Structure 1
Amino acid sequence: MFKSLAFILCSVICADGFVANGQILYPISLPRGLTGVATSSPITVEDFGGVGKCCDRLSVTTLAAQGIAELGALPTTRLAPASDHGTKAAPPSQSAMSAAADYSKAHNGQALIVMFDGKVVFERYDNGGAPNRLQMLASGSKSFVGVAAVAAVQDGLLRLDDPASESIAEWKTDPKKAKITYRQLLTLTSGLLPGERGSAIQAPSWKEIIAKPMTGQPGEQFEYGHYQLNAFAYALERKLGRESFEAYLKRRILDPLGIEVEWRFRCADGHPQVGGGAFMTAMDWAKFGEFIRRGGQWNGKQIVRADLLAECFRGTPQNPAYGLTWWLKKEVTTAHLRRIPILAREWGEIANANWLPGDLVAACGAGKQRLYVIPSLKLVIVRMGGLGRGFSDAEFLSLLFQNKAMNK
């Protein structure tokens, strides 16, 4: 990922700015009608799906040399059904939730929903937010891809550790790409170019994306971006035959939950930009989080098997705090933080926080779009807002949990 901030100079119609990637400045253009961009403000380059860069990889070789990596599978963050967590959990106090909402509002927050044990215990909208407003998820969109992937495993369409080249025939003759697995695409460790300037909101076609060059070896580095997830969606769509990835996600996951996603950012061929193009209401995102908290159950029906859903919450040696498209509260080393700027900037403080439950998982996007799921506390928390700076996950969660001292 980029090592500096993206400066977006916003207007009512569009925004133009520059992202510093090393020593090169790249322009970004935001499309007409972008939600939540009303002021001039610097934002992190996770924007709209994120774009990585080659030098920000964390190789297994480097980790092993430092004596801090295990090449085997990492522990999985298992989300047990709410009934397995006992009776000690209680919702945050109203004063704590109000304090967290005030903090969110002060940092351009537009929506905050807290659900406890499946019931809404707090809901507030600020700064132009509203119950029926479709909010930008940015990289929060990625989490749908991981869930769709494990549903596809359940449906017998693919196996996570099989080579994606079984679906993407164009990769069979490339010695590197032929080795990329579905899991590596989903954990952003495939070595495929993660993205390019402006591609998050004006993305090339899926066929163009799969033709992008490799920047590393399959499974040896974590590079944040959206190309790998769009490549996965392309591979799954080939498995689906006449059904599109978008239609499969809707039929298999969204419709059973009674929620809707609007893909406002699309690739050049009309396919959804699955790494950052989704918009939805805060309440629908909360319902998706409740589905995750319940281990893939909804209205008494197991939509996705719990053991398969748990695959989404298994990190990698290259980034223990990132699973199949979900951020995890898994301890990371200083080497990880040094090698992965987005981890250091966006999530490292949470990954290493010993005052937060270990089963916390999250979908995260630019503008600090957040879907936190904490099964042990029976909590689902949605925070959505406009683009801006200054919001801290640790400060927000500290307020929500009654001002618990951070890192205590």
Structure 2
Amino acid sequence: MTRALDLDAALAYAERHGLQAFVVQRGAEIAAEHYANGWSADKPHALYSGTKSFWGVAAVAAQDDGLLALDEPVGTTFADWRSGEKAAVTLRDLLQLTSGIGFGGLGTAVPAYPKALATPLKTTPETTFTYGGIPLQVFGAVLAAKLAPRDLTPHAYLRERILDPAGVAVASWRSLADGTQPLPTGAFLTARAWLTYGAFVRDGGTAGGREIVARASLARCFAGSAANPRYGLGWWLADGVVYASGAGGQGLYIVPDADTAIVFGNASSYKHDAFLKRLLARHAEPIELPPRS
């Protein structure tokens, strides 16, 4: 049975909270598209932390490609992480934000790779969920080292392995002072382009009839941790919906049992739970998470 969605109620909520963009794709068709407050179909949005949703997908693809393993320690790549509590930190911990690194590294405060790697732990790995950007930068440092023999950066790998095959156009990326691009933030996409990414994820890692990431591999992005069952590898998990969230009211919602993806760009006063309450026409049980693998 296909889940019913109340798009009118969801749009009404968006309009009360500074609507910028509201675009819905059901199946292959655009079911609704609205812009306001100076925004349009061709104006890119800063995704802010919505950018995190790219890196879990890139990580499982890199695992399939033999570049890394989600459960390998950071210390496999960097000697400074082979002793003390840091020795226990895995790449999965970084992506699930359970590495023990404290809050920080958001917005314009994202550190370059060397500074991120030097960050001390605040808590024991895997015991605490702490939102922030530094763990993504540590993951970026690992991925950059893995890709160096191929003369690729993490962002070039993401583009060549995921975004280009899925037909997702990034308008621009932020750069840090050292010329690298950050992982936890920094992507600018139009609402339609982010929706294309959402449809690719909704469709189990396929686009245009082509498998880009294996469905079973992609499912690993939606496994929560013991510290926070509602956060996977860069994705929030709630009520049968997976979603990416960015500051400034950016959201990408995927409702698999309604064959729907939604991009929501609004003022920062909106709340995901309030939006989802209006969108979901009937209550659903929390998403069933696949086992760790």
Give me the TM-score of the superposition, normalised by structure 1. Answer: 0.65
Q: Which residue of 2 aligns with 1:375?
A: 256
Q: Which residue of 2 aligns with 1:127?
A: 37
Distance 1:113 1:201, change over 3 A: same
RMSD: 2.0
Distance in 1 (CA, whole Å) between partners of 2:254 and 2:28 is 12
Identity of aligned residues (%): 39
> Does residue 207 in structure 1 map to residue 114 in structure 2?
yes
Q: Which residue of 2 aligns with 1:100?
A: 10
Alpha-carbon contact 2:48-2:107 (below 8 Å) kept: no
Deviation of 1:278 after TM superposition, in Å, equals 1.4
Distance in 2 (CA, whole Å) between partners of 1:286 and 1:223 is 28
> Does residue 317 in structure 1 map to residue 231 in structure 2?
no
Q: Which residue of 2 aligns with 1:12?
A: none
Give me the TM-score of the superposition, normalised by structure 2. Answer: 0.90
Alpha-carbon contact 1:188-1:225 (below 8 Å) kept: yes
Distance in 2 (CA, whole Å) between partners of 1:224 and 1:379 is 27
- Tell me the amino acid that sits aligned with residue 133 of structure 2: H
Distance in 2 (CA, whole Å) between partners of 1:303 and 1:106 is 38
Q: Which residue of 1 aligns with 2:180?
A: 271
> Does residue 89 in structure 1 map to residue 2 in structure 2?
yes
SS at match of 1:193: coil
Distance in 1 (CA, whole Å) between partners of 2:84 and 2:284 is 47
Q: For this pair of structures, how many residues does the alignment match?
A: 283
Distance in 2 (CA, whole Å) between partners of 1:262 and 1:248 is 17
Deviation of 1:203 after TM superposition, in Å, equals 2.4
Pick aligned residue for 2:51 from 138, 141, 147: 141
Q: Which residue of 2 aligns with 1:35?
A: none
Q: Which residue of 2 aligns with 1:117?
A: 27
Structure 1 stretches of 5 or more lacking a match?
Answer: 1-87, 330-355
Pick aligned residue for 1:225 from 132, 135, 144: 132
Pick aligned residue for 1:258 from 140, 155, 167: 167
Q: Which residue of 1 aligns with 2:276?
A: 397
SS at match of 1:239: helix
Alpha-carbon contact 1:186-1:324 (below 8 Å) kept: yes
Alpha-carbon contact 1:91-1:116 (below 8 Å) kept: no
Distance 1:90 1:188, change over 3 A: closer
Larger radius of gyration: 1
- Tell me the amino acid that sits aligned with residue 380 of structure 1: A
- Whose helix proportion is higher, 1 or 2? 2
Structure 2 stretches of 5 or more lacking a match?
Answer: 286-293
Q: Which residue of 1 aligns with 2:84?
A: 175
Q: Which residue of 1 aligns with 2:209?
A: 300
